[in-house]
Amino acid sequence: GENVEQHPSTLSVQEGDSAVIKCTYSDSASNYFPWYKQELGKRPQLIIDIRSNVGEKKDQRIAVTLNKTAKHFSLHITETQPEDSAVYFCAARYYGQNFVFGPGTRLSVLP
Partner 1 sequence: SQTIHQWPATLVQPVGSPLSLECTVEGTSNPNLYWYRQAAGRGLQLLFYSVGIGQISSEVPQNLSASRPQDRQFILSSKKLLLSDSGFYLCAWSVAEIGFFGPGTRLTVL
Interface residues with partner 1 (CB under 8 A)?
32, 34, 36, 41-46, 49, 51, 89, 91, 93, 95, 98-99, 101-104
Q: How far is the CB of 89 from partner 1 (least distance, A)?
A: 7
Reduced to 3 states (helix: H, G, I; strand: E, B; else coil), residue 97 is coil
Q: Identify which of residues 34 and 74 has a Cβ nearer to partner 1 in the complex.
A: 34
Rounded Cα gap, residues 109 and 83, in angstroms: 8
Rounded Cα gap, residues 14 and 108, in angstroms: 8
Q: Identify which of residues 82 and 103 has a Cβ nearer to partner 1 in the complex.
A: 103
Rounded Cα gap, residues 101 and 66, in angstroms: 16
Q: Identify which of residues 9 and 81 has a Cβ nearer to partner 1 in the complex.
A: 9
Q: Identify which of residues 10 and 28 has a Cβ nearer to partner 1 in the complex.
A: 10
Q: How far is the CB of 65 from partner 1 (least distance, A)?
A: 18
Q: How far is the CB of 55 from partner 1 (least distance, A)?
A: 18
